[in-house]
Amino acid sequence: MKESWSAFDTFEPHFRPLVIIELAKDTKEETKEWLTQRIVDKKKKEGAQLLVKPLVKEDGGKIDGNQNLYLVGASHLRLLLGAETVGLVKECNDNSMRTFTYSSRNTFKDFAEDNHDFLTMAERQYIIKHELENLRAKDERMIPGYPQAKLYPGKSIMRRLMTSGILLQIFPLHDTEELKKLWYTWCGQVKISYQPLDEIRCYFGETIALYFGFLEYFTFALVPMALIGIPYYVFAWEDYDKYVMFASFNLLWSTVILEVWKRCCAIMTYRWGTLLMKRQFEEPRPGFHGVLGINPVTGKEEPVYSSIKRQIRIYLVSLPFVCLCLYFSLYVMMIYFELETWALDFHEENESYFSKLMLFLPSIIYAIVIEMMNRVYRYAAEFLTSWENHRLESSHQNHLILKVLVFNFLNCFASLFYIAFVLFDMKLLRQSLATLLITSQILNQFVEALLPYWLQKRHNKKVKKRVYSIKVDTDLSLFEQVNLEKEMGTYLGTFDDYLELFLQFGYVSLFSCVYPLAAVFAVLNNITEMYFDALKMCRVFKRPFSQPTANIGVWQLAFETMSVISVVTNCALIGLSPQVNALFPDSKTDLILIVVLAEHILLALKFVMAFVIPDKPRDIQIKLARLEFESLEALKQQQMKLAAESLKEETHGEKKMN
């Protein structure tokens, strides 16, 4: 046993397991030894210099010969140096944010050599993940014991293990104490309050905290719309001018909130340090493949794949396929509408209990078909995006998000567009909108959080029973915890959560002038959504790795696009409304021209507003400028010193010559 440990752990009294590595059950001993050795090896031997220890039930000795779970940790010093490597940004004593370096550690707030909480647990786990992923092959040509799992110098070992199926998963451990505390401040109190975003960030990292921040912000931003929308329902206002007012307010408001979000996001991520974090050089994603070649950027040997081939795949295969799917989805929608009229006719002809049931049939079939199409399409999109073979995880994600987004948009809103602009049936539109919005919200929360929570609880009980039955000593609580957590579902990222908000934003803004009450439902939904999402994060899923991020990325663009589209739809709806049509009894042309003019003015206003509102608040701008100025000054000082020296030398030399 002893030799597989780092030389350090003996000096580190608090070896605290942070990350779990699970290998396949039948992994060869040879491979395990090699892997742990590589993880423990010193930096100068190109190891990760971390601490690693197999998870064992210590009833006097090992009882499980085929151990496949490893605890990974690191010494305090190693973590601090790792923080420097990943470029963490922390707060200094003078309240400014700076990139952490080990040599300047004493200028940072709350830093003390014995303060092991200087780095949050999420940060420590992120550092370990980063170090593990950057553990690279030296001169190994293959993974020991697995000749078919080829390696080449510089290839990430963990990624190869993962693609070869030897490594099942790497996940960070929950901290039960902290989690309990977080859960209490987050959802434990009944009083309505802000979410503890900073605590969420400390525990789950920036990406997830930013999602909850956005959810909270978005909910607050919807409140004015909801408040204005209520009287429309209460007093049953149907005047056209009131609807125009509401729609105009809504359209401009949506631009304002999206612009102001950028500012709020900058404030938060500045406080968290991620706004200042330098982008790291991105490694190829695990699934990326190609012939071995020279990377033009790094000059190192790695798989390369022609960008032209990828473009061809994107534009000649993926794009037509997506278009075909969109067309197919529209086709299915048309069939649904035909079925609907057919069912109505059937009901009118032979009115019976059966025919009444038949009325619901088309909707049920359509809902099922849509759900199936969504799932099939999702698989297809993932397959296609993988097949496009993007080198970077980020561009892979962006292409996947774009594909899924477009399809979901069409699936959700095509029927509403059809009702609005082909059938011209505003009553039906309002009704469908309400049904879709409310049912999708309820279903979502059930499928996404409550059902998994219930399954999880049942499962936990089983695992606990199994573990307790062989319970013997004190270390079991960790053993039990790891065994419980490794069976938990994996949180697949914020994609689905943002998608849900995106579609909700669509329901609220696309047809806002028809159904002002949508915002009210959205607000109500989001309040419960926060609790369910919190439940999901804390109780249902494995703890996800923290992921530093400075903004919500492609979603900002998606929401902005939606808000532009909603200008067009709302103007068209107002133009179609009978009240407005009644104002122009003689000339439809004038009406259309006025609507088009209004639309253009609104669009222009939106663009001007987006341009005029600065993306970062002034004080953040100043802080960023100060940091930039300081680094420029430092550079200049250095150059001036150098220059003075060079000039001195030269003068000296010349004088001697004279």
Site for a copy of itself, rule CB under 8 A: 7-8, 11, 42-44, 49, 77-78, 81, 84-85, 101-103, 278, 280-281, 296-299, 307, 568, 588-589, 592-593, 596, 600, 618, 622, 625-626, 628-629, 632-633, 636, 639-640, 642-644, 646-647, 650-651, 654, 658
Looking at residue 46, what DSSP letter applies?
A: T
The torsion region of residue 46 among left (phi > 0), alpha (psi -120 to 50) and beta comes to: left
DSSP-assigned beta bridge partners for residue 167:
23
User: Is the Cβ of residue 43 or residue 309 nearer to a copy of itself in the bound state?
Assistant: 43
Dihedral of the alpha carbons of 424, 430, 434, 437, in degrees to the nearest 10: 50
Using CA atoms, how far apart are residues 654 and 344, in angstroms rounded to an integer? 103
User: Is the Cβ of residue 279 or residue 458 nearer to a copy of itself in the bound state?
Assistant: 279
Closest distance between a copy of itself and the C-beta of residue 624, in Å? Answer: 9
Closest distance between a copy of itself and the C-beta of residue 181, in Å? Answer: 32
- DSSP-assigned states of every residue in 381-441: HHHHHHHHT-SSHHHHHHHHHHHHHHHHHHHHHHHHHHHHHTS--HHHHHHHHHHHHHHHH
Cβ atoms of 99 and 89 within 8 Å: the answer is yes
Closest distance between a copy of itself and the C-beta of residue 565, in Å? Answer: 10
Closest distance between a copy of itself and the C-beta of residue 647, in Å? Answer: 7
Using CA atoms, how far apart are residues 377 and 371, in angstroms rounded to an integer? 10
* C-alpha neighbours within 13 Å on the C-beta side of residue 316: 6
Cβ atoms of 573 and 513 within 8 Å: the answer is yes
User: Is the Cβ of residue 7 or residue 443 nearer to a copy of itself in the bound state?
Assistant: 7
Q: Which two tokens stand for residue 11?
A: 């000096």
Using CA atoms, how far apart are residues 208 and 199, in angstroms rounded to an integer? 11
CA distances from 476 to 22, 411, 482, 630 (A): 18, 49, 10, 52
Q: Which two tokens stand for residue 362?
A: 């088309």
User: Is the Cβ of residue 355 or residue 556 nearer to a copy of itself in the bound state?
Assistant: 556
User: Is the Cβ of residue 78 or residue 536 nearer to a copy of itself in the bound state?
Assistant: 78
Q: Write the CB contacts of 657 (distance below 8 Å, at least 6 apart in sequence).
A: none
Closest distance between a copy of itself and the C-beta of residue 593, in Å? Answer: 7
User: Is the Cβ of residue 190 or residue 582 nearer to a copy of itself in the bound state?
Assistant: 582
Closest distance between a copy of itself and the C-beta of residue 550, in Å? Answer: 17
Would you call 282 exposed, middle or buried from its count of C-beta atoms within 10 A (0-12, 13-18, 19+)? exposed
Closest distance between a copy of itself and the C-beta of residue 343, in Å? Answer: 32
User: Is the Cβ of residue 351 or residue 650 nearer to a copy of itself in the bound state?
Assistant: 650
Looking at residue 487, what DSSP letter applies?
A: T
Query: Between 518-535 and 426-445, two packed helices, what is the crossing angle to 10 degrees?
Result: 10
Query: Between 206-234 and 197-204, two packed helices, what is the crossing angle to 10 degrees?
Result: 140
Strand, helix or coil at 140?
coil
User: Is the Cβ of residue 227 or residue 644 nearer to a copy of itself in the bound state?
Assistant: 644
Q: Write the CB contacts of 308 (distance below 8 Å, at least 6 apart in sequence).
A: none
Q: Write the CB contacts of 234 (distance below 8 Å, at least 6 apart in sequence).
A: none
Using CA atoms, how far apart are residues 34 and 149, in angstroms rounded to an integer? 14
Using CA atoms, how far apart are residues 316 and 327, in angstroms rounded to an integer? 17
User: Is the Cβ of residue 524 or residue 568 nearer to a copy of itself in the bound state?
Assistant: 568
User: Is the Cβ of residue 227 or residue 634 nearer to a copy of itself in the bound state?
Assistant: 634
Closest distance between a copy of itself and the C-beta of residue 95, in Å? Answer: 13
Using CA atoms, how far apart are residues 49 and 42, in angstroms rounded to an integer? 5
User: Is the Cβ of residue 528 or residue 621 nearer to a copy of itself in the bound state?
Assistant: 621
Closest distance between a copy of itself and the C-beta of residue 224, in Å? Answer: 23
User: Is the Cβ of residue 358 or residue 576 nearer to a copy of itself in the bound state?
Assistant: 576
Q: What are phi and psi of 630, to 5 degrees?
A: -60, -40
User: Is the Cβ of residue 42 or residue 471 nearer to a copy of itself in the bound state?
Assistant: 42
User: Is the Cβ of residue 278 or residue 427 nearer to a copy of itself in the bound state?
Assistant: 278
Closest distance between a copy of itself and the C-beta of residue 478, in Å? Answer: 26
User: Is the Cβ of residue 467 or residue 624 nearer to a copy of itself in the bound state?
Assistant: 624
Closest distance between a copy of itself and the C-beta of residue 11, in Å? Answer: 5
Closest distance between a copy of itself and the C-beta of residue 582, in Å? Answer: 16
Closest distance between a copy of itself and the C-beta of residue 617, in Å? Answer: 11
DSSP-assigned beta bridge partners for residue 292:
303
Closest distance between a copy of itself and the C-beta of residue 588, in Å? Answer: 5
Which helix (H) or strand (E) segment holds residue 582: the answer is: helix 578-583
| Sign for the pseudo-dihedral over CA of 373, 375, 380, 381 | positive
Helix residue spans in 87-196 (DSSP H)? 121-133, 157-163, 176-183
Cβ atoms of 521 and 233 within 8 Å: the answer is no
User: Is the Cβ of residue 478 or residue 643 nearer to a copy of itself in the bound state?
Assistant: 643
Using CA atoms, how far apart are residues 596 and 609, in angstroms rounded to an integer? 20
Closest distance between a copy of itself and the C-beta of residue 614, in Å? Answer: 11
Closest distance between a copy of itself and the C-beta of residue 557, in Å? Answer: 9
- DSSP-assigned states of every residue in 490-542: PP--SHHHHHHHHHHHHHHHHTTTT-TTHHHHHHHHHHHHHHHHHHIIIIIBP
